[in-house]
Amino acid sequence: MRAFAALLLPLALAGCAWFSDKPPENDYASTSQNQFVGANYRAADALLSQLNGRLAGDKPLIMATVVNIDALDQSSTLGRLVSEQVSTRLAQGGLRMLEMKLRTSVYMKRQQGEMMLTREVGEVAHNHNAQAVVVGSYGETNDAVFVNIKVVQPQTNQVMAATDYVLAKDSVVRSMLQGR
């Protein structure tokens, strides 16, 4: 019996070691390596490249909430975070970005962010002396989220810059879409 126990003990300890070495499913290291921030920053960098020399340095831009292409009056955590990260990167690139969450004169739909419908864009841009509005949409498939971001001149509706990219629908992206 002791010989049998002596054989089982190393196996039991090896099994415990396997479980204790396994990292948590959503630990910081794996989450910080996620595609999401990098993809949004690369999209903003593409916009910056296209806009080089085309904007007046003294006038700001407004970032609208990136919306669901199938329901343009709805967004999600994903859409709001894409908006935040693109706006951050554009500001890091030297553009003057207006923070609309601090403005009380802009209609804020609860849980949706700064919704920019076509009829409102010109008025909001004019009221805040904005030279352009950054708008976007996303569409879902089973395995991916397709994102489109455009910089639009509000008086003419001319698209000054645009980019598209795809996010794999991993567990992080899925969780941001579920909060709708």
pLDDT band per the 50, 70, 90 thresholds, residue 105: very low
DSSP 3-state of 145: strand
Q: What is the pTM of this model?
A: 0.75
Residue 158 has pLDDT above 50, yes or no: yes
Q: Are strands 61-63 and 97-98 parallel, antiparallel or unpaired?
A: parallel
Distance from C-alpha of 43 to C-alpha of 40, rounded to nearest angstrom: 5
Instruction: Find the helix or strand (DSSP H, E) in which 135 lies.
Output: strand 132-140
DSSP state of 58: T
Both tokens of 88, joined, read 């951050």
Contact 71, 115 (CB under 8 A): no
Q: Which of 148, 32, 128, 34 is nearest to 83 (CA)?
A: 148
The CATH label, of 3.20.20.370, 3.40.50.10610, 2.120.10.30, 3.30.1330.60, for the domain at 34-178 is 3.40.50.10610
Q: Which of 155, 170, 164, 160 is nearest to 69 (CA)?
A: 164
Residue 99 has pLDDT above 70, yes or no: yes
Residues in the chain: 180
Higher-pLDDT residue of 115, 51: 51
Residue 51 has pLDDT above 60, yes or no: yes
177 phi, psi to nearest 5 deg: -85, -25
Q: What's the pLDDT score for residue 72?
A: 86
Q: What's the pLDDT score for residue 129?
A: 86
Distance from C-alpha of 88 to C-alpha of 85, rounded to nearest angstrom: 5
Residue 140 has pLDDT above 60, yes or no: yes
How much is the average pLDDT of 75-100? 93
